[in-house]
């Protein structure tokens, strides 16, 4: 973990010594839970449904997780961390601000396309009552690097200073996430052009630059 190859390390650790063609029941359960939770909410899904979505018996869930609540928390933390890693992992923060911004935005879009359930799940409101202190702490911890990045950019005169860092972040994130939500609800189909325009918009929102 000392070097720069975080991702590579992770991969080699993963594949370790024995061929693991079956990605472990625990993983399958979490994946299935993510799928059904993102569709119908945490409270809207019964444990046996998670089990059958995962192709295991109900009881098996309880061999891997103490309770539904524990499963929800674990899933939340895993997906939150994975998203964070996907967005910021191996990011070269020394490049041009705009390039870094575009890279992160593109990763956000790519992730939304690859694993749309993740955003749905993370933005769910109805798991709030399930989340334990550790999950809430993670939530806050994950925010910090973003805040620091924005602060730094403001300090360097790249991002606008007339709006507080957290306000900028909240609005930028909300704009992006709601775009996905609206598309998911079928009110809008996002084409390549739209996404580029939205990226541009967001950049202007952060920096205060004008179009054109």
Partner DNA sequence: GATGAATGAGATTTCATTCAT
Partner DNA sequence: TATGAATGAAATCTCATTCAT
Residues that bind DNA (CB under 7 A): 25, 45-48, 56-64, 67-69
What span, in angstroms and rounded, lies between the C-alpha atoms of 64 and 50?
A: 13
Rounded least distance, CB 188 to DNA, Å:
31
Contacts of 169 (CB under 8 A, 6+ apart): 143, 146, 147, 150
Of 114 and 185, CB closest to its own copies:
185
The contact set with its own copies (CB under 8 A) reads 40-44, 120, 123-126, 128-129, 139-140, 143, 160, 162-164, 166-168, 170-179, 181-182, 185, 187-188, 190, 194, 197-198, 200-202, 204-205, 208-212
Q: Which is nearer to DNA, 62 or 86 (CB)?
A: 62
Burial of 159: CB neighbours in 10 Å, binned 0-12, 13-18, 19+: buried
CA 212, CA 201: separation in Å to the nearest integer?
11
> For residues 23 and 208, which CB has a smaller minimum distance to its own copies in the complex?
208
Say if residues 202 and 175 touch (Cβ distance below 8 Å): yes
What does 62 bind: its own copies, DNA, none (CB cut-off 5 to 8 Å by kind)?
DNA
Q: Considering the complex, what minimum distance in angstroms separates the CB of residue 52 from DNA?
A: 8
Q: Which helix (H) or strand (E) holds 148?
A: helix 133-155
């Amino acid at each position: 973990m000392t070097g720069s190859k975080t991702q590579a390390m992770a991969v080699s650790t993963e594949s370790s010594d024995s061929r693991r063609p079956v990605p472990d029941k625990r993983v399958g359960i979490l994946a299935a839970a993510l799928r059904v939770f993102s569709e119908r909410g945490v409270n809207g899904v019964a444990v046996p449904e998670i089990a059958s979505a995962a192709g295991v018996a109900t009881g098996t869930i309880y061999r891997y997780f103490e309770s539904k609540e524990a499963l929800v928390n674990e899933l939340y933390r895993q997906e939150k961390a994975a998203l964070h890693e996907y967005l910021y992992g191996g990011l070269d923060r020394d490049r041009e601000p705009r390039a870094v911004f575009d890279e992160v935005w593109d990763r956000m879009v790519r992730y939304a396309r690859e694993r749309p359930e993740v955003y749905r799940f993370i933005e769910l409101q109805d798991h709030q009552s399930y989340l334990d202190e550790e999950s809430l702490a993670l939530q806050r911890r994950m925010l910090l690097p973003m805040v620091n990045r924005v602060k730094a950019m403001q300090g360097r005169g790249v991002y606008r200073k007339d709006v507080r860092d957290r306000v900028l972040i909240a609005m930028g994130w909300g704009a992006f996430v709601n775009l996905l939500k609206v598309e998911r609800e079928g009110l809008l189909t996002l084409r390549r052009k739209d996404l580029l325009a939205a990226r541009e918009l967001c950049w202007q929102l952060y920096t205060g630059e004008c179009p054109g």
